[in-house]
Amino acid sequence: MKKNYLSREGYEKLDKELHDLKTRGRKEIAQEIAEARSKGDLSENAEYDAAKEAQGHLEKRIAELEHTLATATIIDEKNINTSKAYLLSTVTIRNLKVKKEMKYTLVSKDEADFKLGKISVDSPIGKAILGTEIGEVVQVNVPAGTLQLEILNIER
């Protein structure tokens, strides 16, 4: 079974989402199904079909969150070695082709948020810089081509 490595913050965020879906989410879907049922014939009731489909999506997300949290290992950021890029490391890199610097925090796929500078260790760039040291240059194949990235700094 694959472990999911999460920060304390990421674990709590997913746990809060799970709690919300199990309480408020399920209650809202049940109300929608009851409302649609009250409109009569279920065989031609588009609202009922839509509510049941939404219920299926909700239950799938609940199951995914339960699995993620059950297999999670919480990483203590204080114990992260900054000599190499690991999960929860913040890495400053330079794209050598366009001479642009970027700063990313390496996180699990469940915590990834590109707008906040959090990239998944499962993404092409995340995989390439995971385990690197300051000064290393890595090549990354992305849909737009091949990038050459220099590791400038690693911090926690």
Span(s) in the chain for CATH 1.10.287.180: 4-75
CA distance 48 to 39: 9
CATH number of the 4-75 domain? 1.10.287.180
pLDDT attached to residue 88: 86
139 burial level (CB within 10 Å; 0-12, 13-18, 19+): exposed
Q: Where in the chain is the domain with CATH 3.10.50.30?
A: 77-155
Instruction: Please choose, from the candidates 111, 91, 112, 113, the residue with its C-alpha nearest in 3D space to the C-alpha of residue 102.
Output: 91
List of E strands, 57-99: 72-75, 90-95
Q: Which CATH number fits domain 77-155: 3.40.50.720, 3.30.930.10, 3.10.50.30, 3.90.550.10?
A: 3.10.50.30
pLDDT of residue 80: 65
The confidence score (pLDDT) of residue 57 equals 95
> Block means of pLDDT (10 residues each) for the chain, length 156 residues?
76 94 94 85 79 93 92 76 83 92 91 91 90 92 89 90
**pTM tops 0.85:** no
